[in-house]
């Protein structure tokens, strides 16, 4: 999965704070988010759970999709996440990352 253009959505928890990003190295970028290597929005609000990602052939396509999703209403983003990940599972575990400790689940938006 290294060096593939990708749009990803991180969440602090189910229905929690969302972050949409783009990268050419999802595993490397997730490592930065999860270790809080870079002090940023995601480290401040503990937004580390990968709840969706989409791979692209080109970085231009990925950037365009990132911009599109960022313009969406929050509920549209939630619907997008739940279309493939209804339980808000941390998809980073399937990429080799350790599970994150639970933060307390909310019961909807």
State pLDDT tens for residues 20-29: 999 999 999 9
Please state the domain extents for the chain. Answer: 6-95
Is it true that domain 6-95 has CATH number 3.60.20.10?
no
pLDDT tens-place string over residues 59-93 = 999 999 999 999 999 999 999 999 999 999 999 99
Alpha-carbon 91 to chain mean position: 9
Give this prediction's pTM: 0.90
Mean pLDDT of 14-22: 96
Give the DSSP letter string of 37-76.
Answer: -S-SHHHHTT--EEEEEEE-SSHHHHHHHHHHHHHS-HHH
Least confident range of 8-17, 28-37, 77-86, 96-105: 96-105
Asked whether the beta carbons of 97 and 5 are under 8 A apart, the reply is: no
3-state SS assignment for residue 97: coil
């Amino acid at each position: 999965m290294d060096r593939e253009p990708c749009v990803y959505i991180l969440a602090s928890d189910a229905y929690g704070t969302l972050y949409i990003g783009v990268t050419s190295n999802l595993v490397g970028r997730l490592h930065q988010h999860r270790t809080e290597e870079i002090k940023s929005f995601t480290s401040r609000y503990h937004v580390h759970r990968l709840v969706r990602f989409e791979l692209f052939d080109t970085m231009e396509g990925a950037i365009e999709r990132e911009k599109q999703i960022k313009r969406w209403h929050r509920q549209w983003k939630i619907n997008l996440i739940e279309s493939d990940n209804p339980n808000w599972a941390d998809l980073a575990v399937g990429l080799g990352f350790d599970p994150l400790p639970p933060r307390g689940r909310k019961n909807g938006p």
